Amino acid sequence: MTVSAQTRVQVTDIIDRFASSYSRKDFETTSALLNDVFTWFGPGCSSVTEGRETFVALAKRDLSSDPGCSLAFDNIIIAAEGTTAWVCGTWRFVLGENSVMGYMTAVLRGTGHTWVIAHLHLSAGEGAQVIVPGFNSQER
């Protein structure tokens, strides 16, 4: 199936805006890019949580004392059908002297005006000890 150029540009923009707003700690923008019913699996073994508000609250808490971080997605592959798009690629997170990389999958929902991220999954490989603020909490 061929993804239209417009869909490819729009979905890539949402993924890039998510990484950028998260990195800037602009959680209002980050939240606006997420579906009302948002789920994610973080890179830690027990990092399964749901809820846009929960994700944003955890990210705010975990990043509040950190001077800066960087989240980036690369090697993006996009497929879509109708108002659903699925994405895979790699991710890189830098926090101070620490850096971690892994694989990413996401599901986006078309709203008619834009796309929103409905599900996000970051993995870092078996046995990796990964702490990515907002993605590692065991809270539900």
The overall average pLDDT reported for the chain is 85
Q: Mention every residue, 6+ apart, whose C-beta is less than 8 A from residue 20.
A: none
Averaged pLDDT, 114-140? 69
pLDDT at residue 136 in the model: 52
Helices (H) then strands (E): counts for the chain: 3, 6
pLDDT at residue 97 in the model: 79
Rounded Cα distance between 43 and 52, Å, is: 18
The alpha carbon of 52 is separated from its chain's Cα centroid by a whole number of angstroms, namely: 11
**Spans of all domains in the chain:** 5-123
- The CATH T-level fold of domain 5-123 is Nuclear Transport Factor 2; Chain: A, (3.10.450)
Residue 81 Cα distances to 2, 18, 65, 85, 89, angstroms: 9, 22, 41, 6, 18
Sheet of strand 34-41: strand arrangement: 48-50, 34-41, 115-123, 98-110, 84-95, 69-81
3-state secondary structure of 136: coil
Tens-place pLDDT, residues 28-77: 999 999 999 999 887 665 566 788 998 888 888 877 776 778 999 999 99
pLDDT at residue 47 in the model: 63
pLDDT at residue 139 in the model: 41
State phi, psi for 120 to the nearest 5 degrees.
Answer: -135, 135
Tens-place pLDDT, residues 99-117: 888 999 999 999 999 999 9
The kind and range of the H/E element at 9 are helix 5-23
Q: Which residue shows structure tokens 């997420």?
A: 34
